[in-house]
Structure 1
Amino acid sequence: MKKNLISLGALESKGLKITMEGGVLKAVYGALVVMKGIRQNNLYFLQGSTVIGGAAVTEAADADSTDTTRLWHMRLGHAGEKALQGLVKQGLLKGAKACKLEFCEHCVLGKQTRVKFGTAIHHTKGILDYVHTDV
């Protein structure tokens, strides 16, 4: 990331589907579009923004306070609002103000679970007509 480069192979190994059509690059995880890019002079440039900045902000404005809270939320492993407020009360977040967290798609994605397999009824007559295996 220091040189603003990202490996498509690394994204694919994490389970993302990469498509490049008509000069547009998309990285999709399930139904969620994680990243988009536009081709300019044989390079794909990211559309959108990345989260950067220092977490030790003094005299933060409302917009900066929201960004700082979001940054701490991600740095602390997507900690909840109550946990962040507790850390602010203890003075551990260096100038960050406790404010309401905005929607975090990573938190929602992390809480999704797989659907259970349905129960099937098998009508077999003989021995070993139906075999359960663990591959």
Structure 2
Amino acid sequence: MELVLHNVKHVPDMRLNIISTGPLDEDSYHNSSGNGLWKVTLGSLIVARGKRESKLYMTHPKISKSIVNAVDNDDMTELWHKRLGHMSEKGMSILSKKNVWGKPSSKPITSRLV
């Protein structure tokens, strides 16, 4: 799980990044702190944690070099993923037989890797 922050303030010359908890709350995350510890959860999943150092809670994120970050602006791909999710092959076959997608294409299916 990763924590993605949207609509955040950025100060280029600042040595540390500050996370405002208000936007996290708006995105259904739960913030809790006590006994010198801070934790952000989404449901039962812990997505961030930190320890208090002086008056701030400091996070030490684990960064994996094997992770590939990509942004895809293809709204149709996102729309179909929201509609179908992780549908089974049987479910896809049923939709295909009902001609949900129209005529089959002879074009090869390609994918982009970043």
Measured against the shorter chain, the TM-score band is 0.3 to 0.5
TM-score when scaled to structure 1? 0.41
Normalized per residue, the structure richer in helix is 1
TM-score when scaled to structure 2? 0.47
Give 1 or 2 for the bigger CA radius of gyration: 1
